[in-house]
Amino acid sequence: MRLENKVAIVSGAASGMGAATARRFAKEGAKVVIADMLEAEGRAVAAEITAAGGIAQFLALNVTEEASWKSVVDATVAAYGRLDIMVNNAGISGSAVNDLLETGIWDRVMAVNSTGVFLGTKFAVEQMQKNGGGSIVNLSSISGVVGQTMVHMSYNASKGAVRTLTKATAVQFGKDNIRANSVHPGLMPPMRTSGATADPVVRAKMLKAVPLGRNGEVDEVANAILFLASDEASYVTGAELYVDGGYLAM
Bridge partners for 88 per DSSP: 138
Which residue of the chain is nearest ligand NAD when measured via CB?
Answer: 16
Looking at beta carbons only, is 18 or 134 nearer to ligand NAD?
Answer: 18
Q: Which is nearer to ligand NAD, 91 or 134 (CB)?
A: 91
- CB proximity list for 235: less than 8 A, separation 6 or greater: none
Contacting positions for ligand NAD (CB under 6 A)? 11-12, 14-18, 36-38, 61-64, 89-92, 112, 139, 141, 185, 188, 190-193
Residue 179 Cβ vs ligand NAD, minimum distance, rounded to whole Å: 19
Give the residue with the Cβ less far from ligand NAD, 11 or 166: 11
Does residue 155 have an active-site annotation? yes
In the complex, minimum distance from the CB of residue 13 to ligand NAD, in angstroms, rounded to a whole number: 7
Min. distance of Cβ 136 from ligand NAD in angstroms? 14
- Judge whether 145 and 248 are in contact, CB under 8 Å: yes
Q: What's the CA gap between 236 and 5, in Å, rounded? A: 21
Q: Tell me the C-alpha distance between 117 and 87, whole Å.
A: 9
**Beta-carbon count within 10 A of 124 CB:** 26
Least Cα distance to 88 among 67, 114, 53, 68 occurs for 114
Q: Which residues contact 55 (CB under 8 A, 6 or more apart)?
A: 26, 30, 31, 32, 49
Q: Are 183 and 224 in contact (CB under 8 A)?
A: yes
> Least distance (Å) from ligand NAD to the CB of residue 201?
16
The one catalytic residue in 80, 155, 242, 247 is: 155
Which is closer to ligand NAD, CB of 201 or CB of 235? Answer: 201
What are the catalytic residues? 155
